[in-house]
Structure 1
Amino acid sequence: MEKKPKSAVRTSLVVSACSLGIALFTPFQASAQEITLRSTTSSSINISGDLISFEDDVYTIDTSLGTVSLRAAGLECIGEACPVIQASIVTGPVVWDVSLWGNRRAFTEHVEKLAELVDEKTGGQLTLNLSYGGLAPSRENLDGIAAGDFEMAQFCAGYHPDKNPSITVLELPFLGVSTLREELAVSRAVYEHPAVIADLARWNATLLMPTPQPQYNIIGVGSPPTTIEAFEKMTIRATGGTGAAVQALGAASVNLPAPQVNAALTNGEINAVAFAPHAHMAFKTVDNAVWWTSNLNPGTANCPIVVSKRALDTLPASSRIALLSSVDEALEHFIDNYNSSTMAAWDTALLDKQIIELTFSDEMISAISNEVAGPSTSKWIAEKSALGLPARELYEIIPRTLRAMR
């Protein structure tokens, strides 16, 4: 969808990390009671004192350093004396900016379909204004949601695992996911866990829907690796659990944003790329490829669509219902399109470009999986438990969901 002029109301709420908007606040006068103001996006602010007043979106508190005034944007107030902040519901046509990257492709078809459905259901009262790279770099979309720069965005957990540790469980290697519907089911099940909801809420983000991608495989240039030892000389673009699988082959893995990958492959910075089929085509890594692995299937990237919680909370009920009720149909469109059009185009590209297919033996796949899966999972559980997450509980959602589907 093309960007539209913003003649309509744009929702951006007051307690965002860096902007004020259309929320209404009641001036608040308090007796001297202690509160703590803490940054919602970093540890840069954590200050306590007696609340003197809260007016015009500004806290005034008495601290050991004297009287301090702080704007509420990006701050969490802790304590019984904290004022109740009430957001107003917007009226009239609403435009939401949606931050994506690259170009329209299979990876974004659910967002494209969602925009169509919402426009139809609301009669133009809610418009999703899709921007491919015009609002933020791919690795800064979660920050943009936190800051209130836009209302919806797509991001990949592996781009910044420290910002979204809970959902990186879905990028562990060799989870046993076989189909797009299984990937969709395990993602949704994890997204519904309270710890995951709280993790993303730190960024003002509400998980709207997954992007169910197939298992990654590797495309490369140069001589095809005919032995495992040949991988030891390679540098391969791979993220998350796929990176662990690549390292098990003896290769070095690097984490590059998708738009930068083809240039790195062309100039020799990397020798190969792990992507899902649509990304190999969209980012043109297939164009000069010599070989690909047909069945490594080490894992995939988890790239959810999130919405600003504050923006969602202020939508008129009719628009909110239209948005949320369109998610299932948008995901059905995504899966149908991927399984038909995208995979047909992929098969054609491999044939037309005469790309050599490398197929690992069952014994080799099993050996790689055994070396990677268990240690990676144990390490993930230990590290995320140390952060206070119910890591084992999150991990166990995945095999439990898969068993229920089979």
Structure 2
Amino acid sequence: MRKLMCGAAAAALCVAFVSEAAATEWNASVWGKRRAFTENVEKIAELVSEKTDGAFTINVSYGGLSKPKENLDAISIGAIEMAQFCAGYHPDKNRLITVLELPFLGVSNLEEEVAVSNAVYAHPAVQKEMAQWNARLLMTSPMPQYNIVGTGEPRDELAEFDGMRVRATGGLGEAFRAVGGVPTSVPATEAYNAMESGVVDTVAFAQHAHLSFGTINRADWWTANLNPGTVNCPIVVNTDAYDALSDDERAALDGSVDEAIAHYLANYGELLKRWDTVLEEKGVQKVMISDEVLAQFRDKAAVPARDKWIAEMAAQGLPGQELYDLVVSTLEKTRAGN
């Protein structure tokens, strides 16, 4: 019957049927709304479609497929093919990449964040851990150093962090805990409500998130240079779905990563350029923390958090020290190359 259908009389119908059957469609789960943080996903979806003449498409869903803290679980069971998640949402599931969330690592720009993320993602132990979730690391979503917004008088002395309820995840949360803060890890989509209702006093975000999730609209002040660290948020793909791609589709996906990251960096750079204007328009005070306070913060948070993390990884038979050293050496090489 199949041979008969593909005869000359039904050639057009047969070609249409085969083309439809050969099309590959993926679903990618992110959250919130389209913003600087999701531009790498949007761009890679655009690129793979272009490179395969529409035979491989990625549908980007903003919360319709899975909750932010459940994206990795959805990947593991094959409910979705691609997802964005943040390590601090579930550090027990992605222990090793949380090295990138340690406070005061010294990463100073987005290009350095990409470099250290790529180095860590490529480490065999990290890939093995992700494989437990049937996940393959594809690329990072680099973010600048986090800073906090709050209401009332600015908190620009270390003593004022004592008892401060702050929305901060992962290593950032531990940094604030080290100086008496009370961190909570509500998802980004709930941060505005947490601030509005008084569940938290302050919110730690990168610039795009303060803007996208509205926390800047409730703020009286923003710390311009606290820079305690950032959150690491990879894009992962389901391993089975990745393996099922044709050679051309896989080449289109892998070959689009660098382009997607370049687009992301350029787009985020534009946001950073206009950030001071955003603060002025919204009447938010730009607070500069003194060098003395910053040094006190680093002394209390950086080394203790690093040593604790390395010890915890070692106790679980994981190469924490090796990964920390990899981050440090990658930063040195990146700066030397520039």
- Fold-level similarity (TM above 0.5): yes
Residues 281-320 of structure 1: pairs in structure 2 closer than 5 A: 281-320=211-250
The equivalent residue for 1:364 is 293
Offset, 1:380 = 0.4
2:82 aligns with 152
Match of 2:49 in 1: 119
3-state secondary structure, aligned to 2:136: strand
How far is 1:91 from its partner?
A: 6.2
**3-state SS of paired residue (2:215):** coil
Cα offset, 1:405, TM superposition: 1.4
The within-5 A match list for 1:17-36 is none
Greater share of residues in helix = 2
- Aligned partner (choices 272, 279, 292) of residue 343 of structure 1: 272
2:190 to 260, 265, 271: 260
What is the CA–CA distance in structure 1 between the aligned matches of 2:124 and 2:34, rounded to whole Å? 32
1:371-382 to 2 correspondence within 5 Å? 371-382=300-311
Taking the TM superposition and a 5 Å limit, the aligned residue runs for 1:69-108 are 92-108=22-38
Q: Give the distance between the partners of 1:209 and 1:101, measured in 2 at CA.
A: 17
DSSP-derived class of the 1:185 partner: helix
Larger Rg: 1
Instruction: Tell me the equivalent position of 2:179.
Output: 249
Equivalent residue for 1:392? Answer: 321
Q: Does 1:278 align with 2:205?
A: no
State the match for 2:167 in structure 1: 237
Tell me, in whole angstroms, the C-alpha distance in 2 between the residues paired with 1:345 and 1:125.
Answer: 38
In structure 2, list runs of 5 or more residues that go unmatched.
1-19
Contact kept, 8 Å, 1:91 with 1:316, in 2: the verdict is no
Structure 2 Cα separation of the partners of residues 356 and 331 of structure 1: 32
SS of residue paired to 1:295: coil
Would you identify which runs of 4 or more consecutive aligned residues in structure 1 move more than 3 Å?
none
Q: Which amino acid aligns with 2:162?
A: E
CA contact 2:156–2:289 (8 Å) conserved in 1: no
- Give the distance between the partners of 2:100 and 2:164, measured in 1 at CA: 26
Among all aligned residue pairs of Structure 1 and Structure 2, give the percentage whose two residues are the same amino acid. Answer: 53
Q: For residues 258-298 of structure 1, what are the alpha-carbon distances to aligned partners after superposition, in whole Å with 9 as ceiling and x for unaligned?
A: 00010010011111100000000000000110011110101
Q: Corresponding residue for 2:4? A: none
AA aligned to 1:100 is: V
What's the TM-score, normalizing by structure 2? 0.91
Q: How far, CA to CA, are the matches of 2:156 and 2:106 in structure 1?
A: 26
Question: Counterparts of 2:310 and 2:21 in 1: how far apart (Å)?
Answer: 45
* Higher normalized contact order (CA 8 Å, seq sep 6+, divided by chain length): 2
Deviates more, 1:276-285 or 1:345-354: 345-354
Shift in Å at residue 233 of structure 1?
Answer: 3.8
Deviation at 1:302, TM superposition (A): 0.3
Contact between 1:281 and 1:346, CA under 8 Å: does it hold in 2? no
Report whether the alignment pairs 1:352 with 2:276: no
The residue number in structure 1 matching 2:123 is 193
Q: 1:231-270 deviations in whole A, cap 9, x for unaligned?
A: 2242010112211222233221111100001001001111
2:286 is paired with a residue whose SS is: strand
Q: Which 5+ residue runs of structure 1 have no aligned equivalent?
A: 1-89
Contact kept? 1:204, 1:310, Cα under 8 Å: yes
Q: Deviations over 1:59-102 (max 9, x none)?
A: xxxxxxxxxxxxxxxxxxxxxxxxxxxxxxx9600100101110
Task: Give, in whole Å, the separation in 1 of the partners of 2:229 and 2:21.
Answer: 44
Letter in 2 for 1:321: A
The alignment of Structure 1 onto Structure 2 pairs a total of residues equal to 316
Alignment counterpart, residue 225 of structure 1, candidates 155, 179, 188: 155
Residue of structure 2 in register with 1:139 after alignment = 69
What's the CA shift for 1:361? 1.4
Looking at structure 1, the residues matched to 125 and 118 of structure 2 have their Cα atoms a distance apart, in angstroms, of: 13
Q: Counterpart of 1:13?
A: none
Quote the residue 2:59 is aligned against. 129
Letter in 2 for 1:301: V
RMSD: 1.3
Q: Which moved more, 1:239-248 or 1:370-379?
A: 239-248
